[in-house]
Chains A and B, each alone.
Chain A
Amino acid sequence: MEIVKNIGRSEVWRYLHGNTKFWTSITIVLAVVILGVIGPYLTKYSPNTPAGAPMTPPSFKHPFGTDYFGYDVFSEVVYGIRVSLSVGLIAALIATLIGVILGMIAGLRGGIVDAIIDTLINIFLSIPPILIMILLAVYIGKRGILEMGLIIGILSWQWTARAVRAQVSALRTSDFIASSYLSGNSYIKVLFKDVLPNIASYMFLSFVIQLSTAILTVVTLEFFGLGASEWSLGAIIQYSVLWGGIPLGLWWWFLFPGIIIVALIASLYILVISLEEVFNPRLRRW
């Protein structure tokens, strides 16, 4: 048993070792996270007070330039990363949790429970979730990091639930589940001891997928002016539109936060496909 485990581990390691997709994407993701964590210590300007002459292009003093009001865009961005990432993380955690639990229950139980959950999944696949998120965010009153994470999380679980349900449904009729029931294990025990380990790798993948789509949703809501804070990546870009950043040609105002958003989300996507290749040897081709 120990030997089998070790072979498995070294094979994964050997596969990851030469995988440029994996290493490039994880480096970019970590770089953005680190910028968000230590960024505020790298800049001497506060995002809440004008830091210099307005509308100056990037320079050594202001690496991302200054905006229409003279605020340092770099400071805005590093504080913005913190806000947008936190909301995305909370949303992804909630969505994965709800999705996995509902999907497992539907897949293992079958029958009427499955029918109800399946209808629920289909309803939320047919209504564009972001429209309901907009309504909730407009009327919720206080829009904090936690609230925004919750709004996005409770409306994004359907993708995970559908995939988990399909995987668990396939497991339901298999022999090892039947023998687990026969040896006297309760439904809950089968769920956690037999089903969960089988979907663990997918659960992790699903979390990364949820994180990438959650961040895309977060910045979109922020761009609509429905974000958790003024210093979020989407909000900075919204301000640049509302205050004429485009006709004035202040490209640094929206381009730098934009590049960080795109780099982060694209890296998360590529991380997912490189991990898929690790978990599913069939997809490995080059």
Chain B
Amino acid sequence: MGFYTYIAKRIGLYTIVFFTALALAWSIPRFLGNPIAIIIARLGPSQAGAALAASYFMQAFGLNKPLHVQFLYFLKGLLHGDLGISVWLLGKPVSSIVYKGVIFDLILMTPAIIVSWYIGNIVGALAARYRNLDRILLPIFYILTATPYFLLAMLLQWGLTVRYKIFPTVIKTTVFEQLLYHPNLTVLLQFLRAWFLPFLSLVIVSIGGWASGMRSLMIYELESNYSRYMEMLGFSEKRISSYAFRYAIHPQITGLGIQLGTLITGAIAVEYIFNYPGLGFYMFNAIINNDPFLLQGTILVMILMVIFANFLVDIIEAIIDPRIRLGVVR
């Protein structure tokens, strides 16, 4: 199986994944609950008005049509970039909110993933090689991985903005708008001050996961037969480690796509705590403010981002892994 067959197969898989995600995001609100009732409940207590509004919304959203027609409407809307309107933000189209959310998410998460991946792999490999270091580092790795993202974000906020006033407590929301439309140096600096703490919380927690993963992979490689054989032949420990590292790094690259899935959900709470206007910030507010369309829209776009990242990782993997590139196995 060659490179292109491999890519074609992955595209096939992600198409199935995408439609499964669409079907879930569409059917769960329809069959389990009633988004209209949520919107009506927010409007006010009048009974007669509620019935009228309900029938209006049923018609407006096409909920009185047969199910397959509704699903086609949903798909059509999606293709036009129509994700409905936000109730919490008073009728603002969800697609325009989500669009900005994606930009700020990319600015936050891309560096967070790269930095934590790089540091985590190096520290993890060091822990596997030096036993004394491992005794100290191992508990730290596991404590970091066990920390929920929101908890570390809260500790950082409490420690660095309330206890010691190193970072500003209140960030003007206009900074984010200005960065998109009228960027200049002062705005950029202000933005970086708002960006740094959410970035730091994401990085610190994910380092634990990458490092503990790398440590186990390296130990596994260092104890394998080829390492033992190299040891018998008299290779230096450094040389053996560098060979083991090349094997161990491979699953870590595969893990990048999946890690984005955990990071994007970790960012929901982190962005809310720091008022950072990414997708997660809007999703958290959609949950606590009962906003069905905003919730559905943010979830769909997050899933799309994760699928896209997974596909990107697959391509990178196919390029760097000779077994796939030359079509030897799989």
A213 to B91, CA, bound (A): 38
Which residues of the other chain, B, contact A258 by a CB distance below 8 angstroms? Answer: 148, 151, 154-155
Q: Which residue of A lies closest to B224 (CB)?
A: A282
* A240 shortest CB reach to chain B, Å: 8
Structural contact, A139 and B29, CB atoms closer than 8 A: yes
Q: Which residues of B110-145 are within 8 A (CB) of A?
A: 131, 134, 138-139, 142-143, 145
Show 20 A/B contacts (Cβ-Cβ < 8 Å), sorted by A.
A119-B16, A126-B306, A127-B306, A128-B302, A131-B303, A134-B283, A134-B295, A136-B32, A141-B33, A220-B265, A223-B150, A224-B284, A241-B150, A241-B154, A241-B272, A242-B288, A255-B155, A262-B151, A266-B146, A270-B138
Any A CB within 8 A of the CB of B262? yes
Structural contact, B142 and A270, CB atoms closer than 8 A: yes
Where the two chains meet, the residues of B that have a C-beta atom closer than 8 Å to any C-beta of A are 13-14, 16-17, 20-21, 24-25, 28-29, 32-33, 131, 134, 138-139, 142-143, 145-151, 154-155, 157-158, 162-163, 169, 212, 216, 219-220, 223, 257-258, 261-262, 264-265, 268-269, 272-273, 283-284, 287-288, 295-296, 299, 302-303, 306-307, 310
Any B CB within 8 A of the CB of A185? no
Any B CB within 8 A of the CB of A203? no
Inter-chain CB contacts under 8 Å: number = 148
Interface size on A, residues (CB 8 A): 51
* A106 shortest CB reach to chain B, Å: 16
Known: A126-B306, A127-B17, A225-B288. A262 touches B147 (CB 8 A): yes
Most buried by B among A123, A130, A138, A264: A138
Contact mask for chain A residues 92-131; partner B; CB cutoff 8 A; 1 contact, 0 none = 0000000000000000000000000001001101111011
Structural contact, A265 and B146, CB atoms closer than 8 A: yes
Known: A246-B154, A247-B169. A266 touches B142 (CB 8 A): yes
Q: Which residues of A225-246 are within 8 A (CB) of B?
A: 225-226, 234, 237, 240-242, 246
Structural contact, A123 and B16, CB atoms closer than 8 A: yes
A216 to B269, CA, bound (A): 13
A240 to B155, CA, bound (A): 12
Which residues of the other chain, B, contact A273 by a CB distance below 8 angstroms? Answer: 216
A96 to B143, CA, bound (A): 24
Which 6 pairs of residues, A with B, have the shortest CB-CB distance?
A: A139-B33, A128-B261, A265-B146, A266-B146, A139-B32, A258-B151
Query: Of B155, B265, B273, B310, which contacts A126 at CB under 8 A?
Result: B310
Structural contact, A141 and B32, CB atoms closer than 8 A: yes
Query: Of B29, B163, B307, which contacts A249 at CB under 8 A?
Result: B163
A78 to B162, CA, bound (A): 28
Structural contact, B17 and A122, CB atoms closer than 8 A: yes
Structural contact, B299 and A269, CB atoms closer than 8 A: no
* A226 shortest CB reach to chain B, Å: 7
B interface, over-half SS: helix
Query: Of A223, A264, A270, which contacts B269 at CB under 8 A?
Result: A223
Structural contact, A123 and B17, CB atoms closer than 8 A: yes
Any B CB within 8 A of the CB of A79? no
Which residues of the other chain, A, contact B150 by a CB distance below 8 angstroms? Answer: 220, 223, 237, 241
Any B CB within 8 A of the CB of A182? no
A242 to B287, CA, bound (A): 13
* A46 shortest CB reach to chain B, Å: 26
Structural contact, B142 and A282, CB atoms closer than 8 A: no
Query: Of A122, A125, A132, A285, which contacts B24 at CB under 8 A?
Result: A132
Any B CB within 8 A of the CB of A212? yes
A243 to B299, CA, bound (A): 26
Structural contact, B303 and A127, CB atoms closer than 8 A: yes
Structural contact, B302 and A131, CB atoms closer than 8 A: yes
Known: A130-B265, A261-B151, A285-B131. A249 touches B223 (CB 8 A): no
A223 to B147, CA, bound (A): 13
Most buried by B among A134, A136, A225, A249: A134
Any B CB within 8 A of the CB of A45? no
A138 to B285, CA, bound (A): 13
Any B CB within 8 A of the CB of A254? yes
Structural contact, B151 and A246, CB atoms closer than 8 A: no
* B88 shortest CB reach to chain A, Å: 14
